Amino acid sequence: MIPLTREQVPATADVVLVGAGINGLATAYELAQLGMKNIVVLEKTYIGSGSTGRCGGGIRQQWTTEENIRLAQESVRMYENMSAELGYQVFFRQGGYLMVTENENDLPALRDAVALQQRCDVPTDFLQPQECLEIVPDLDISRIKGATFCPRDGTAYPFAVVWGYARACHRKGVKIYIGTTVTDLKTTEGRITAVETDRGTIQTPLVVNCAGPWARSLAAGIGVELPNRQERHEIMVSESLKPFLDPMVISISNGIYFSQSMRGEIVGGIGDSDEPRLPGPSRFKTHSGMRFAVRFAQALLSYYPRAAEVRMMRQWAGMYDVTPDHRPILGGVDGLDGYFHSCGFSGHGFMLGPMTGKRMARFITTGRRDEIIESLSLERFSRGDIQADAFVVG
């Protein structure tokens, strides 16, 4: 077991990471791997309680921007070896991702995306509708106009991943404090000096903001304005069934995604652009709703009629931390030494987290230029250097 404490926080730390989801824990682990000592991770509730523990577990390399492709490609390589490296079974399974569209106008973008992915050495292929049946035999292809498929995409169990990282962090001497709320970040003359919590103050020269949907409000306290917004998304899980579905199926037409877990459940979700945007703290409500249940069931049956007799067992909601271009915000801030952020993953932090943590740790400890982190810096918005990714679903 991992000693998780709700006790008084230490008086000092060499670095404090806020948030014990995949980005906070992966970055902490990689910092420890590079030799950093006295690392503290703060989590206001429990490990994986934010977006990580409420995601669908998908990991894909099929993107339309090179930065997302590279991060995902490198993360997949890490997921392939993660159970061995962390000493904990994370249930990574490479059943592939089948991305479909009902819109003829999407086909040029799909073909362009395949070409870009192949240039990045991602083994994606463009498929005609009939070819989809070789991958998912019971798929209803009557409305599908085209698809792409990458066999090396897959899924993992989110809680197993964060617990694996947490155990590995503990072996490296990282201290994880749960039930500990960060109340303020302190700066002096343009640099980070301390983190205040409801369990005491930590003097530290380095802070990494991995707070997911709460990253924006945390940054605002020290005058860092992030353009992130929060979106509520739901997921539904069925009863366990005999294995019949290998890949994750995603529609870029209506945003549905569904796969079958290693325990046999169908796991899936669908976005809702018409869902009311709640103000203030209400936007973090994670209750379940009938509106989603009906929309998901209807969309699932339209692609997979075989699911008509399947019983849905439970559902939950979580938050996407969304940026204007649906790409993460990484790195530091000009004029504020010791502050870094890793946020804005727009619902895809789980799949990009492992390599993001590795790159961020290297950037923090060495200060060496990282082209991907630089291209995903906060400053890109003020520069107008925005290249939106087209394949954001869920």
Alpha helices in the chain (DSSP H): 22-33, 66-86, 107-119, 129-132, 158-171, 215-220, 290-303, 349-366, 371-375, 379-383
Cβ neighbourhood burial of 21 (10 Å; 0-12, 13-18, 19+) = buried
Q: Output DSSP code: residue 311.
A: P
Instruction: Pick the closest to residue 394 from 250, 248, 271 (CA basis).
Output: 271
What is the Cα Rg of the chain in Å? 21
Q: Report the C-alpha gap between 266 and 60 in whole angstroms.
A: 18
**The two structure tokens encoding residue 39:** 């690392």
Say what the pTM is.
Answer: 0.94
SS3 115: helix
Distance CA 10, CA 12 (A): 6
What is the Cα–Cα distance from 62 to 265, expressed in whole angstroms? 24
What is the chain's pLDDT, residue by residue, as a tens digit (394 residues)?
566 667 899 999 999 999 999 999 999 999 999 999 999 999 999 999 999 999 999 999 999 989 889 999 999 999 999 999 999 999 999 999 999 999 999 999 999 999 999 999 999 999 999 999 999 999 999 999 999 999 999 999 999 999 999 999 999 999 999 999 999 999 999 999 999 999 999 999 999 999 999 999 999 999 999 999 988 899 999 999 999 999 999 999 999 999 999 889 999 999 876 665 555 555 567 777 788 999 999 999 999 998 999 999 999 999 999 999 999 999 999 999 999 999 999 999 999 999 999 999 999 999 999 999 999 999 999 888 777 777 777 5
Kindly state the DSSP code that residue 93 receives in the 8-state scheme. Answer: B
Q: Using CA atoms in the order 386, 78, 123, 385, what is the torsion angle rounded to 10 degrees?
A: 10
Q: How far apart are CA 155 and CA 366, in angstroms?
A: 32
Nearest-10 Cα torsion for 350, 354, 358, 361: 40
3-state SS of 238-279 is: EEECCCCCCCEEEECCCCCEEEECCCCEEEEECCCCCCCCCC
Q: What fold, for 1-92+153-228+323-394? A: FAD/NAD(P)-binding domain (3.50.50)
Amino acid (1-letter code) at residue 80: E
Q: Which residue has the tokens 């390599």?
A: 355
H/E element, 100: strand 97-101
C-alpha–C-alpha distance, residues 387 and 4, integer Å: 40
* Domain 93-152+229-319 CATH assignment equals 3.90.209.20: no
- Domain ranges, ordered by start, for the chain: 1-92+153-228+323-394, 93-152+229-319
Extract the tokens encoding 48: 């994986």
Separation CA 37–CA 318 (nearest Å) = 33
Bridge-based pairing of strands 15-18 and 207-209 is: parallel
